Chains A and B, each alone.
Chain A
Amino acid sequence: MDIPIDALGIRDGVASGRLSATDVCRAALDRIAALDSSLNAFRTVAADRALARAAEIDTRRENRNLALLGVPVALKDNLCTRGITTTASSRILDGYVPPYNATVVDRLEAAGAIIIGKTNCDEFAMGSSTENSAYGPTRNPWASDRTPGGSSGGSAAAVAARMVPLALGSDTGGSIRQPAALCGVVGFKPSYGRVSRYGLLAFASSLDQIGPLATSVRDAAVITSVIAGHDTCDSTSANVPVPAFQAALSGDGDLHGVRIGVPRHLFREGVDAEVMAAFDAAIEVTRERGAEIVDVVLEHSPEAIPVYYIIATAEASANLARYDGVRYGYRAEASTLGDMYDRTRGKGFGREVKRRIILGTYVLSVGYYDAYYRKAQQVRTLIRHDYDRAFGSVDVIAMPTSPTAAFSLGERTEDPVQMYLSDVFTVGANLAGLPAISVPCGLTRTRLPIGLQFTGRAMEDATVLRVADGYERATTWSRERPPN
Chain B
Amino acid sequence: MRRSWRPLVRWLVAALVWLPSVAHAQGTPTITVTGMRGLLFGTLIPGVQAPVQPTDVARAAWFDVRAAPSSQLQLVLALPLALQHHSTAEVPLRYGPAAAAYSITSSTADAIAFDPAIPFTVTLPASGRVQVYLGATALPPVHATAGRYTAVITLTAAAVGN
State whether these chains interact. no
Interface set of B (CB-CB < 8 Å, partner A): none
